[in-house]
Amino acid sequence: MRVLILAVGRLKSGPLLELQREYAQRFTWPLEIREVEERRALAPAERKAREGELLLDALPEGALPVALDERGKPLGSRDFAQQLGRWREAGTKTLAFILGGADGLPRPVLERAALTLSLGAMTWPHLLARTLLLEQLYRSQQILAGHPYHRD
């Protein structure tokens, strides 16, 4: 199963990019990170809608979309790993995690998602949420492999 992370915003050089690279290198499943960005100065609602269009345009045909949103379903690490395992066993070819910008994801993206997932009750900066997702993907990979990285 290929994992795709579709994210609004471009990580610049610095600690977040280095941490993202660290977890991306640890993750052994095929992984791609696609960044989209609207550079025009738009009103917040218009920007959010445009970012949603860019994300949906970047979503490959046939991919299973998973939206990250603070109002989504919270899963513990083991439950998340089991869900990834089920998708993999079901023959999912591309699993696409979609992360919005600072104002979140617009309704059309949320409606398209097979699952809307929360990283917890706290609100995370969108650029940090990407790194948190990568760590949880790596953790899930290790759980599914029976590796002791994860401790309950």
pLDDT of residue 57: 98
Kind plus residue range of the DSSP H or E element containing 5:
strand 2-8
pLDDT of residue 127: 81
Return the ∠ at Cα 9 (arms to 31 and 53), rounded to 5°. Answer: 90
C-beta of residue 80 within 8 angstroms of C-beta of residue 129? no
Query: What average pLDDT score do residues 82-90 get?
Result: 98
For the stretch 87-133, pLDDT in tens is 999 999 999 999 999 899 999 999 999 999 999 988 888 888 999 99
Residue 21 corresponds to which amino acid? R
Query: Cβ atoms within 10 A of the Cβ of 14, count?
Result: 9
User: CATH number of 2-144: 3.40.50.300, 3.40.1280.10, 3.30.70.890, 3.90.1150.10?
Assistant: 3.40.1280.10
Per-residue pLDDT tens over the stretch 30-62:
999 999 999 999 999 999 999 999 999 999 999
